[in-house]
C-alpha cells in the first residue's frame, strides 16, 4: 500500500510542482511578480527548446538566434503588415522551424563540438543580419512600437493577462515536449541519444528525425521570441546573442537536462536573481558564478534530478 502511495506521489509530483510554479505570481499578486513570471516563462521556453536538442546529445547555440527570428517576424508581421497576434505567434514559431529544417540536413551531419560551433556561428549570423539589414530590422536600434499581444480583439496590455498568455504557451509547449518523449517518438529520441547505429539498423532514418527535432526546437524558440517582442514592445539584436543562449543552457542544466520540468525549474531559480539583487550588482556575477560551479560540481543531474532521486522514485 505504501508503495502505491509512493508511486502516486511520484506521479503527482510533476503536475503539483508545475501547478505551484504557474500559480505563484497570481498568489503573490503584485505586478512585479507577474513581470518575473513572464520573464521566467519566456526563458523557460527558450531553455526548453535547447533541451529538445540536448535530449539527442546535441547542444545548439543557435536557439537564441531562432528566438530572435521569431521576435522580429512577430514584430514585423503585426506592426507593418497588420497581421493579428494570434496569427503572428504560430508564424513566429514556423519561420525559424523552416530555417532549422532547411539547414538541418547540413548542420546535423556533424556532432559534438563541431555542431556546437556551427550553431554558434548560425546564431551570430542571424544576429548580424538584424544588425546589418537596417531598412528591414532597424540595425542596432532594433524595432520600436511593437503592438501589444491581443486575442479575440482584446489587447493583453495588463501584466496578469500577458502572464496568462505566457503560462498557456509554456504549458502547451510542455505538453508538446511530453508528447515528443512518449511512444514511438520517445523511442526514437532515446535511440538517437543512446545508440544511433542500432536505431538505424532497425529501419529508422536518423538524420530526418534529427532534422524534425531541430525544427521543433526552433519552433519553441520562435514562440519565446514572439512573446518577448510583444511583452516589451521593443527588440534589439543584442537580446538574441550568445549570452542569451548560454543563459538558457545554464537554466536547462541547472534544472535537469533530461527532465521535462528541468528548464522551467532552472528559469524559476535564475531569472529572478538579477531582478532581486539589483543593489548588489557588483557581487551578483561573482555569486552567480560560484553558485553555478557548486551546483554543477555537486549536483550534476540538476536540482530536480536530486529531488527525484531522494524520493527513490527513479535511480
Question: Residue numbers of the site for other proteins (CB under 8 A)?
Answer: 183-185, 187-188, 190-191, 194-195, 197-209, 211-212
10 Å Cβ neighbour count for 291?
Answer: 14
Least distance to other proteins from the beta carbon of 211, Å? 8
- Residue number with CB closer to other proteins (200 or 284): 200
Q: Shortest CA distance to 42 belongs to which of 186, 209, 235?
A: 235
Cell numbers given for 79:
506592426
Q: Shortest CA distance to 93 belongs to which of 74, 64, 71, 70?
A: 70
Least distance to other proteins from the beta carbon of 63, Å? 20
Least distance to other proteins from the beta carbon of 240, Å? 27
φ and ψ at residue 4, rounded to 5 degrees? -65, -40
CB 126 within 8 A of CB 69: yes
- Residue number with CB closer to other proteins (187 or 299): 187
- Residue number with CB closer to other proteins (116 or 204): 204
Cell numbers given for 164:
496568462
Least distance to other proteins from the beta carbon of 206, Å? 7
| CA dihedral over 130, 132, 134, 138, signed as positive or negative | positive
- Residue number with CB closer to other proteins (47 or 188): 188
- Residue number with CB closer to other proteins (33 or 209): 209
Least distance to other proteins from the beta carbon of 205, Å? 4
- Say which residue the cell 499578486 belongs to: 29
Q: Report in angstroms the alpha-carbon separations of 254 from 28, 35, 51, 154, 196.
A: 25, 22, 12, 37, 27
Amino acid at each position: 500500500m505504501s508503495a502505491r502511495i509512493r508511486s502516486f506521489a511520484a506521479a503527482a509530483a510533476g503536475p503539483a510542482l508545475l501547478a505551484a510554479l504557474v500559480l505563484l505570481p497570481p498568489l503573490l499578486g503584485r505586478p512585479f511578480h507577474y513581470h518575473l513570471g513572464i520573464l521566467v516563462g519566456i526563458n523557460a521556453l527558450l531553455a526548453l527548446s535547447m533541451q529538445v536538442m540536448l535530449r539527442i546529445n546535441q547542444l545548439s547555440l543557435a536557439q537564441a538566434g531562432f528566438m530572435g527570428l521569431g521576435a522580429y517576424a512577430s514584430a514585423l508581421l503585426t506592426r507593418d503588415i497588420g497581421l493579428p497576434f494570434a496569427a503572428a505567434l504560430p508564424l513566429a514559431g514556423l519561420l525559424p522551424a523552416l530555417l532549422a529544417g532547411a539547414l538541418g540536413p547540413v548542420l546535423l551531419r556533424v556532432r559534438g563540438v563541431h555542431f556546437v560551433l556551427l550553431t554558434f556561428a548560425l546564431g551570430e549570423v542571424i544576429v548580424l543580419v538584424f544588425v546589418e539589414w537596417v531598412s528591414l530590422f532597424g540595425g542596432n536600434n532594433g524595432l520600436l512600437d511593437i503592438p501589444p499581444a491581443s486575442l479575440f480583439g482584446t489587447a493583453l496590455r495588463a501584466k496578469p493577462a500577458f502572464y496568462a498568455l505566457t503560462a498557456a504557451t509554456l504549458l502547451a509547449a510542455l505538453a508538446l515536449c511530453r508528447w515528443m518523449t512518449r511512444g514511438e517518438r520517445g523511442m526514437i529520441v532515446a535511440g538517437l541519444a543512446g545508440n544511433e547505429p542500432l536505431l538505424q539498423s532497425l529501419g529508422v532514418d536518423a538524420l530526418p528525425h534529427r532534422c524534425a527535432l531541430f525544427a521543433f526546437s526552433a519552433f519553441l524558440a520562435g514562440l519565446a521570441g514572439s512573446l518577448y517582442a510583444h511583452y516589451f514592445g521593443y527588440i534589439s539584436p543584442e537580446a538574441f546573442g550568445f549570452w542569451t543562449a548560454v543563459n538558457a543552457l545554464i537554466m536547462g542544466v541547472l534544472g535537469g537536462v533530461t527532465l521535462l520540468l528541468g528548464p522551467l525549474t532552472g528559469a524559476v531559480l535564475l531569472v529572478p536573481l538579477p531582478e532581486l539583487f539589483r543593489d548588489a550588482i557588483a557581487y551578483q556575477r561573482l555569486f552567480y558564478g560560484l553558485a553555478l560551479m557548486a551546483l554543477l560540481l555537486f549536483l550534476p543531474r540538476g536540482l530536480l534530478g536530486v529531488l527525484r532521486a531522494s524520493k527513490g522514485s527513479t535511480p
